[in-house]
Structure 1
């Protein structure tokens, strides 16, 4: 689910049956180089079961992302490419559990954006973009929302969070990993706030702007021990990467510690990503 005041540019967003998350932004790479990467194209774009095209102009199959998602057959078991032409799509998007094998492909950073601003208190209802289905890939899309304000006597910004990971036990294989990303926005935001005792989030090799709060991380609704959490960073840079005032339980990961999170094996990619199909 995506719903904060931060802008998140996604060049690669993967969800597998393990419910892990990985995002990668090809900083320094041309969009075409990424689109032609074997991970995305080696068997998926070469022969998709179907391609659906969405554009704000109305000249293609649909004008909204949600309408295109709704057109995917229930119980789908073959990869479908949903291509979003350049433009701003002002809507909330939900990909339900029974709409699997979707490759949502935008036209690149700054060209294709999904935008919404919902002030409801319930995070599940206010999220701009929700994926409940297994086997999902997104590429080349910016997700944007607006800063949240409370207006009793003056404008007071509410500190939001990029992630709220809910790993509940040590044997749970889930986690959020952000690699080569850029994080920036208006006001301040936490990299993550734990939703359960084993919450696991890693930001690696990413640019963190001053929008990242000095503390970096928060417990949110979980007030118990932080001993089993992993709220980690590795080789991040930018003004928001300064760890001087980070919360005591967050960690600067070593090369050995971060290594398992930087490979496709963390999301069991060789079992479900098209590039590895026989």
Structure 2
């Protein structure tokens, strides 16, 4: 007769129910979005079963997070997956570790809990020597646009930067971005793209010889979480300027607390030659000043925002900045 302990049947039943419950919750989660590609990784030979289980659990988390919109991410992940944060800072009084490697080395070989290493901040100065040898193209010239800078990554901040160009200067392509104390110069659609971006205390300067436009925002769907917000900025320069053109049918742009020089076309906005876009775009103005800020002449399909309507656009909340901006 064996003396080994044999767990009761009820124990196996409980374990099975827990596994089924976890899988059911994962399947029921919102699955819209782009899932990141899985990395094959180097197979380890020690504790193979435990390592594979750990990797499977981690990839479930990666797939789940990849399916979420950023506005859902923080709340949803905390409910389903346990996690904790290690802070790396050169000053040992401000963090848990002074190097990334020390933080990594502190983790157990088989780790089933998600760990975030945060507050790693590096200031980088990039100096490019060149000459402005290319002539400035006339506004609207086909095939002569010259993008000075394109940003497609998520959570990027630019402080005290200067962007110089003519047509299509700054391509704010995709992702959440923060521009502070920047100088942006151009003629036609010189801030364009489909990013979700906040411009704060920036100078937007037009060099249009005749007519131009500040923005061409490309939001293509009511579900698309993108748009531009200009807060406490200055719009100056030459020519006759639209605040924006409806590049995307659901284009979204707001100017708040912004000074506008007398170069702004009274109508303010242009429908890109498509009247149907007047029903779907979101163009707003809130407590702007200067000779070009008079809302009385604006197109009927733009909005003079109330305090409540303006609130989502005038702080870092617009780009979830409290989660990633450390200035």
State the TM bucket, normalised to the shorter chain.
0.5 to 0.7
CA contact (8 A) 2:165 2:185 kept: yes
- For residues 185 and 249 of structure 1, the distance between their equivalents in structure 2, rounded to whole angstroms, comes to 26
CA contact (8 A) 1:147 1:187 kept: no
CA contact (8 A) 2:258 2:289 kept: yes
Q: Deviations over 1:97-121 (max 9, x none)?
A: 46x6655443xxxxx744334xxxx
Segments of 5+ residues of structure 2 without an aligned counterpart are 1-68, 71-93, 96-118, 131-145, 190-207
TM-score (norm: length of structure 2): 0.47
- For residues 195 and 169 of structure 1, the distance between their equivalents in structure 2, rounded to whole angstroms, comes to 12
Aligned partner of residue 312 in structure 2, secondary structure: helix
Per the alignment, residue 129 of structure 1 pairs with 170
Residue 274 (structure 1) shift: 3.1
**Structure 1 residues 228, 115: CA separation in 2 closer, same or farther (over 3 Å shift)?**
closer
Aligned partner of residue 259 in structure 1, secondary structure: helix
1:178 and 2:178 aligned: no
1:210 and 2:262 aligned: yes
Aligned residues: CA RMSD: 3.4
CA contact (8 A) 1:208 1:241 kept: yes
Per the alignment, residue 93 of structure 1 pairs with 148
Q: Deviations over 1:39-74 (max 9, x none)?
A: xxx99xx963352243xxxxxxx436xxxxxxxxxx
How many residue pairs get aligned? The number is 181
Segments of 5+ residues of structure 1 without an aligned counterpart are 1-16, 19-41, 55-61, 65-90, 107-111, 118-125, 149-155
CA contact (8 A) 2:252 2:282 kept: yes
TM-score (norm: length of structure 1): 0.55
CA contact (8 A) 1:184 1:209 kept: yes
Residue 140 (structure 1) shift: 3.2
Aligned partner of residue 318 in structure 2, secondary structure: helix
- For residues 131 and 219 of structure 1, the distance between their equivalents in structure 2, rounded to whole angstroms, comes to 20
Residue 134 (structure 1) shift: 4.1
**Structure 1 residues 198, 134: CA separation in 2 closer, same or farther (over 3 Å shift)?**
closer
Q: Deviations over 1:194-217 (max 9, x none)?
A: 123322111111111111111111
Residue 142 (structure 1) shift: 1.6
Aligned partner of residue 237 in structure 1, secondary structure: coil
- For residues 219 and 174 of structure 2, the distance between their equivalents in structure 1, rounded to whole angstroms, comes to 18
CA contact (8 A) 2:237 2:263 kept: yes
Per the alignment, residue 220 of structure 1 pairs with 272
CA contact (8 A) 1:169 1:198 kept: yes
Per the alignment, residue 9 of structure 1 pairs with none
Greater percentage in helix: 2
CA contact (8 A) 2:148 2:164 kept: no
Per the alignment, residue 296 of structure 2 pairs with 244
Greater relative CO (CA pairs within 8 A, separation 6+) = 1
